[in-house]
Amino acid sequence: MAIGPIPPLGAAASVGATAPAKGAAGFVDSLGRLVQAVEGSATEANTAVDKMLAGTGDVHDAMIALQRSELTLQLTVQVRNKLVQAYQDIMRMPV
């Protein structure tokens, strides 16, 4: 019996395949929001630094935005590390 490829999210399930769990879509959405938060905080930090250099912004606001961006990135990296570790643990399980 041949094993077919994994269908993309939202695609109709093929014969004999099971549908993804409802929590899977929520997890993907959560990861997407986390990545968007990293991008948004980096953009805000860049804007705050640009305003500070132009003389229209405050140094404190720029530093707070930079720290917020750094913490968001660190959180995302730690989530990624935990996901990779969980994947590796599952792959090491005997079948």
Q: Where are the domains of the chain?
A: 26-92
CB atoms within 10 A of CB 37: 16
Across 16-34, average pLDDT: 72
Mean pLDDT of the chain: 83
Q: Do 17 and 7 touch, CB atoms closer than 8 A? A: yes
Q: Find tokens 């305003």 and name the residue.
A: 51
Q: Do 48 and 66 touch, CB atoms closer than 8 A? A: yes
- Which residue from 59, 67, 25 is spatially nearest to 42, judged by alpha carbons? 67
pLDDT of residue 58: 92
* Structure confidence by residue, pLDDT tens digits, 30-49: 888 889 999 999 999 999 99
* Structure confidence by residue, pLDDT tens digits, 43-74: 999 999 999 999 999 999 999 999 999 999 99
CB atoms within 10 A of CB 49: 17
